[in-house]
Structure 1
Amino acid sequence: MRKPTRFRRSRSSAGENTLQAALDPFHPRVPIHGALEVIDRPYDACLIDIAGVIHTGGRAIAGSVQAIGRLQASGMPFRLLTNTTSKSSGMVLAMLTELGVDVSAEDLLTAPKATIEYLKQNDLRPHLLIADALEEDFQTSGLELQSPNCVVLGDAGEKFTYPSLNQAFRLLQSDDQRPLIAMGGNRYFREADGDLSLDIFPFAALLSEAASREVVITGKPSAEFFAAAVGSLGTERERTVMIGDDLESDVGGALNAGIDGILVRTGKFDPAEFDRSAIQPTAVHEDLASAVDEILP
């Protein structure tokens, strides 16, 4: 079985976030606000988060569509990365097209796609706790969906109920060799109305605690996810940069994978969280347009 990215449950202090504990020790720093605006390393390729960077709640962030266009005109290869699991890959592509972002399926790397590949490589049959919109991706994947030997969590929204979580817990508890897989390590996301909502990781952490099981993360911030993105571009990690609004999953995940990470102050960016965290971005920019202006030669 291929070695997965795992995040252990923290026992060092009550309420400590396991994802933050996994990332922070590798990137100690003091708080910054504008000290890392200028990048002095040339890049051959870039990775870009979608939600919170290109759009928020289905509405394009000012300048983001044009920034993608400038990247395409420059010839710099890129991949759009997303932990979105409330929509199928086709729905994500259709949304981008509607926003005016002219990309193909090959330009996308989604957490569900990475998860399906991981399940196939490890002969796993998933018990799925996911959004209805994502069912099609798994139904047409060729995966065996009977007699599950693992639990896979996506953004199930209102399907995260006591009965559904208890069913997943019982499946894990009945066999300590059954993996608990989360398609992303995000703690929360920003809704179209501007408010924050719980994402996958809090529910994964709940099951991890209850079943004494480590969480296998197949999307961001998994190092394997970033490695797959870089591999699809045919570039070197040292010559690739990630642009995202999530300090933990986007920037922290990229840095742990040996990739520079630019944090943008859009989407879920939180100044207070930024000050508390020990994760040190390579640079901080107002938005995608500003970041692209900086990295283009």
Structure 2
Amino acid sequence: MMFDESVKAVLCDIGGVLYVGEEPIKGAVAAIREIKKHYPIRFLTNTTQKTSAQVVKKLQKMGFDIESEEIITALDVTKMFLAKEKSSAEFLLTDDALSFFNELKYYDKKYVVVGDAQENFNYKNLNRAFRKLMEGASLLAIAKNRYFKDADNELSMDAGCFVSALEYASGQSASLIGKPSKEFYHLACASLHVKPEKCVMIGDDIESDIKGAQDAGIKAALVKTGKFSKKDLSLGIKPEYLFDSVASIL
């Protein structure tokens, strides 16, 4: 057993755990193949730059044995929420991510939705979102991460910085729909038909992956890859497991 016998299923972050930039982390492909022999698994990602289909294509190209039904993205959860609400939104997203929501465009815009918009984070777009909030729309954050490990192996600002700017300007507090919301984690557990306390979450983000999972009643395994920093171990958040990388789980 890779984990203690109470663990019956695995949740796993993607960026920083399976790969950094365009390269898989050493040993990760073999590790995931072996983990899948012992546990059902769901791969969770807060990425809002790509749809689940694009994520699967990227992972398969790297050699990972991962199918579309095993991936849950923050974009998927957001689309399900908006469809249920019969609402469109003023979106701050990349052009690829924007097209994912095309079928909702005939609904009224009851929300402002913020993800990682990259170059679309400019004054014009941010101000348009601000004005929609001042007209009464509600602020919805797909993710509130501060930063991520970029393709050049350096840290880059993530969507949370821009969510905070809109919160400050509008006086609103954003509702979070991606990690680390309990609803996101519980949806992933439900898709595996396993209770949260029977799952373990593998991640590189001490706040979103580790504390988020633990707050949702899920055990957590921190890997020292991706955005991991030594200072993470001094923040008072104690993962149940600590590994050098996902390959070390073997």
- The TM-score range, normalised by the shorter chain, is over 0.9
Q: What code does the residue aligned with 1:80 have? A: F
TM norm structure 2: 0.95
User: Is this contact kept in 1: 2:143–2:159, CA < 8 A?
Assistant: yes
Q: What code does the residue aligned with 2:123 have? A: Y
**13, 31, 44: which is aligned to 1:67?**
31
Aligned to 1:265: 224
Aligned to 1:279: 237
Partner Cα separation in structure 2 for residue 239 and residue 204 of structure 1: 33
How many residues align structurally?
249
Alpha-carbon deviations, 1:210-247, whole Å to 9, x = none? 11111111110010000000000001111100000001
> Partner of 1:127: helix, strand, or coil?
strand
Partner Cα separation in structure 2 for residue 227 and residue 113 of structure 1: 14
> Partner of 1:152: helix, strand, or coil?
strand
> Partner of 2:104: helix, strand, or coil?
coil
User: Is this contact kept in 1: 2:197–2:219, CA < 8 A?
Assistant: yes
**88, 101, 111: which is aligned to 2:74?**
111
User: Is this contact kept in 2: 1:208–1:214, CA < 8 A?
Assistant: yes
> Partner of 1:149: helix, strand, or coil?
strand
Aligned to 1:50: 14
Q: CA deviation at 1:122?
A: 2.4
Alpha-carbon deviations, 1:233-270, whole Å to 9, x = none? 00111110000000111111101100011110000001
Partner Cα separation in structure 1 for residue 98 and residue 166 of structure 2: 21
Partner Cα separation in structure 1 for residue 12 and residue 91 of structure 2: 27
Aligned to 1:143: 104
User: Is this contact kept in 2: 1:126–1:145, CA < 8 A?
Assistant: no
Q: CA deviation at 1:151?
A: 0.3
Q: What code does the residue aligned with 1:163 have? A: K
Aligned to 2:181: 222
Q: CA deviation at 1:146?
A: 5.0
Aligned ranges 1:99-178 → 2 under 5 Å? 99-139=62-102, 142-145=103-106, 147-175=108-136, 178=137
Name the CA shift for 1:124/1:147 in 2 (closer, same or farther; >3 Å).
closer
User: Is this contact kept in 2: 1:127–1:145, CA < 8 A?
Assistant: no
Q: What code does the residue aligned with 2:80 have? A: E
> Partner of 2:148: helix, strand, or coil?
strand
User: Is this contact kept in 1: 2:86–2:107, CA < 8 A?
Assistant: no
Aligned to 1:90: 53
When structure 1 is superposed on structure 2, of 155-164 and 226-235 the one drifting more is: 155-164
Q: CA deviation at 1:174?
A: 1.5
Q: CA deviation at 1:162?
A: 1.1
Partner Cα separation in structure 2 for residue 145 and residue 268 of structure 1: 39
Q: CA deviation at 1:41?
A: 4.9
Partner Cα separation in structure 2 for residue 196 and residue 244 of structure 1: 16
Gapped regions of structure 2 (runs ≥ 5): none
Q: CA RMSD in A?
A: 1.5
Partner Cα separation in structure 2 for residue 235 and residue 39 of structure 1: 16
Alpha-carbon deviations, 1:160-183, whole Å to 9, x = none? 1111111101110121xx211111
When structure 1 is superposed on structure 2, of 165-174 and 145-154 the one drifting more is: 145-154
> Partner of 1:181: helix, strand, or coil?
strand
Aligned to 1:288: 246
Partner Cα separation in structure 2 for residue 202 and residue 41 of structure 1: 40
TM norm structure 1: 0.81
Does residue 254 (structure 1) correspond to residue 213 (structure 2)? The answer is yes
Alpha-carbon deviations, 1:61-102, whole Å to 9, x = none? 01111111002223x100000011111221101001001112
